Copies of this chain bind each other. A is one copy, B any other.
Amino acid sequence: MQNHSVTMLGTGLIGEFYTMTLHSQRGRDRVEVVYSRTAERGEAFSARWGIPNSTTSMEEAINHPDTDVVVVGLPNDLHEEAIALTAAAGKAVLCTKPLARTAEEAKRILDTVERAGVFGGYLEDLVYTPKALKAIAAVQNGQIGDVTWVRSRETHPGPHSAWFWDGKRAGGGAIVDLGCHCIEIIRSYVGKGNRPVEVMCHADTLVHPIDAEDNAVALIRFESGAIGQFEVSWTFRGGMDLRDEIAGTEGTIWVNTFLRTGIEMYTSGGGEGYVAEKLESTEGWLFPVGNEVVELGYVDMFTDMFNAMEESRDPTETFYDGYVVNAIMDAAYRSNESRLWEPVDVEWRGGSTERIGSQAATFEGKNIVKEETLPDGRRKLILSDPESGAISDIVVSG
């Protein structure tokens, strides 16, 4: 039973969530050092979470002798530098999503970490929500057959921090902020060995006075024939909408992670207290979740990361996964410009996957298209001729 001591880089919303997770319940890992660009924020953060060391020097924070793990919770344009410094320090590094602003940058980061031989974990929390873990296991256990289609949706009224809205610093808009979640959710359901072949994306800036996209929809075609579909928006009204739908040849899964999870509250508006992230109102019908750091996957994510370190295995989400996500986002941006299906340009390590295949049952040499039981117990078969494709039907005894 090992304990880990963490350097936390960044004190924004994501740093809050990460630290809340590590310091909650009966955990044995602790944040020991925090880095913030401004001393005031760093000290307030330290005080809030009982962290002994605070510094405005990223290098000092990373190299602090008391810690063995560095968590990167910084704006996207600072990931590469922070990871390079951590790799040089020989410490494990866990980086928030997206790994980088482009696949090229992600690949450099991946190479740096692999060369240094340090542990790298990609902090894609939404793949680790308890519901996602349960649903992914159901898919892997064959409970819904072959996956044919996954829809992953993440939309809300827009981020809190200014830098997110600045396409230059963030590397884009809603796609970079939210699409990275959806892509990895989709990959987890279709199978990580299922190569993303090409992407079609439509993005637009419909509401906010910004350069980056505030809405996008994309289709990802995988080698098996499965389609991943992501929908992201910074203009959704009503809270934060996190939903996934998975269709398989033998079943269906619908996951609602945030707005409809079994607590419904109506309030005339009195009283006090935090209800939920990205909530738009504090009166009327509200839909909180039980425990946000659990429901958003942070708890299971850090468990996997630290356990993986101790067991000398890869975590479920690696820097390679982060790089694939960036490659898919790059294809999405190219597609939005070219208006074409764009190939996903990635150094693929995942092997190959067969085409979704349901071996059709046959009847007297014809393929059975559909079979229904009639009220009188007989069976009606709709048949297709394998040569001509001609459709016919026949009723047979039950």
Contact = CB atoms under 8 A, between A and B. Distances in A.
A104 interface: no
Contact of A27 (B26, B142, B270, B367): B26
A337 interface: no
Contacts of A233: 148-149, 247
Interface string A380-391: 001010100111
A81 interface: no
Contacts of A78: none
B135 A263 contact: yes
Interface of A: 1, 3, 24-30, 129-131, 133-135, 137-138, 141-145, 148-149, 151, 155, 157-158, 160, 162-163, 165-167, 200, 202, 204, 206-211, 215, 217, 219, 221, 225, 227, 229, 231, 233, 235-239, 241, 247-257, 260-273, 275, 280-281, 283-291, 294-295, 299-300, 302-303, 306-307, 339-341, 356, 358, 360, 367-370, 372, 382, 384, 386, 389-393
Contact of A247 (B204, B235, B290): B235
A210 B360 CA distance: 10
Nearest to A375: B274
A264 B268 contact: no
Contacts of A273: 137-138, 141, 143
10 contacts: A130-B290, A138-B271, A143-B270, A149-B215, A155-B247, A200-B200, A208-B360, A217-B219, A217-B227, A253-B263
A394 to B, nearest CB: 9
Contacts of A210: 369, 384, 389, 391
Q: Which 10 A-B pairs have the closest CB atoms?
A: A130-B290, A284-B284, A238-B266, A143-B271, A142-B271, A209-B367, A130-B291, A251-B267, A256-B262, A141-B273
Given A141-B271, A237-B251, A253-B263, A209 B129 contact: no
A209 B386 contact: yes
A378 to B, nearest CB: 15
Contacts of A202: 200, 219, 221, 227
Nearest to A170: B391
A390 to B, nearest CB: 7
